[in-house]
Chain A
Amino acid sequence: MLSKKNKEAFFNPLSKDNPVLVQILGICSALAVTASLEPAIVMGISVIAVLAFSNVIISFLRKTVPTNIRIIVQLVVVAALVIIVQQILIAYNYDVSKKLSVFIGLIITNCILMGRLEAFAMHNSPWPSFLDGIGNGLGYTIVLLIVAFFRELLGSGTLFGFHVIPQWCYNHGYMDNGLMILPPMALITVGCIIWVHRSRNKELQEN
């Protein structure tokens, strides 16, 4: 059930083989939805769900998929799951689905999905594929949350929409940094996280 290989499939993507920090995949959506924490969390959960289930489905199909059209098959599976997630959100959590607007649909274009399907699910059985999907989704979500934490705190002075920076700071001339809300600072924040991550994991450093 949890052999060494399965454990690796689950835990490696959290840090040592993180899809955002090490493989530099899924950067686009990591920049887009991280202006505040709430959409970042829902986006993370959606990606985990889509990634885990598409990994499992492709893993079941892997022996029947014709090599020539395998990318198309993967895309159809991912697109179908994304549409399902989107429809469920509209039906049961309309407010958040409004906030995430186009980004749920853009999960389809998230490179992590195609990357994991090609690299892992096409060659492994369903259970390890499921763990790999959850692991990579979590790795992505963790980075999203760290970025969103700093951007929301410094950009709007709030966390989950609640004001956390006390009023006396503003009275003494502190101002929310509007630049943090904009995409460039998201990229710089991700860069800083990668920097810290590499300095703590010497084996990841390139010469």
Chain B
Amino acid sequence: MNKNSNAYQILYAAVMVLLVGTVLAFIYMALKPKQNENIANDTRKQILSALHIASPDDSQVKDVYEKYIIQDLLVDTEGNIVDSAKNVAFNVDMKKNVKLAERQLPVMKCKTDDGSIKYVLPVYGAGLWGPIWGYIAVNEDGNTIYGANFSHEGETPGLGARITEQAFQDEFVDKHLFVDGAFKSVAVLKKGQKTTDGAEQIDALTGATITSRGVSDMMADCLAPYEAFLKKLGSGGGSQCTADAIESVNNDNQPE
């Protein structure tokens, strides 16, 4: 058969693509459960890291996570709790959670070793090359940041990828989301710049202007809808009132 005839070439290409496609599909299916487990464990590690809890081995991550995270919540923009089923916040796909009107607001309620209650709020935004996301742990007052953890998909190593470094994440600790009772988020700005609205700020990363701005925007965009929820936490007895709300939701969910 003539190797350069059109029929041979088309047949060759078709058979090759079919073969390769089958092999890849098979490998993808075979590795998928293991990959999903890795990704879920990685997410748990990120949440634990925002709470300043050192990551254990992969085999124990799930147990440690379930020990500290005492409840998952979904809240609405008025600060009411709409759902509190197990893992309901953990399972929210932030990637599909973009439109403000339809956004679900996941909250993970955690109890640290010293018995204090923290609330972890996931954030999701855009870096330079792809999505960036993170977890912000807030104190019971709904105002002070307890810890933060950021991750990214494809930021430049050594530049934008440095948002995952501890030194950068620790800068957020003890910053306040509210200034004089108004929600301001925390800005990430170049050294020497000042926020115009009085919001607290931290230093941007050198050589990573767009990623730094992405973190700044992500914090503002994703935390703003929580304003009512955080205010409720902050207004004295807030924890009491949410505890009652959780109670009522739990009762609603149980058929008996």
Contacts and interface: CB of A to CB of B under 8 A. Distances in A.
A67 B157 contact: no
A98 B154 CA distance: 8
A169 interface: no
23 contacts: A35-B157, A35-B158, A64-B3, A68-B4, A69-B12, A76-B20, A84-B27, A87-B27, A87-B28, A87-B31, A90-B38, A91-B31, A92-B34, A94-B38, A94-B39, A98-B151, A99-B157, A101-B153, A101-B157, A101-B161, A102-B129, A102-B154, A182-B159
B157 A32 contact: yes
B128 to A, nearest CB: 12
A56 interface: no
A193 B8 CA distance: 47
Interface string A171-195: 0000000100110000000000000
B169 to A, nearest CB: 16
Q: Is the interface of B mostly helix, strand, loop or mixed?
A: helix
Contacts of B27: 84, 87
B interface residue count range (under 10 / 10 to 19 / 20 to 34 / 35 or more): 20 to 34
Given A66-B3, A76-B20, A101-B153, A90 B35 contact: yes
Q: Is the interface of A mostly helix, strand, loop or mixed?
A: helix
B20 A80 contact: yes
A72 interface: yes
Interface residues of A, number: 32
Given A90-B31, A94-B39, A84 B24 contact: yes
Interface in B145-169: 151-155, 157-159, 161
B3 to A, nearest CB: 5
B31 A76 contact: no
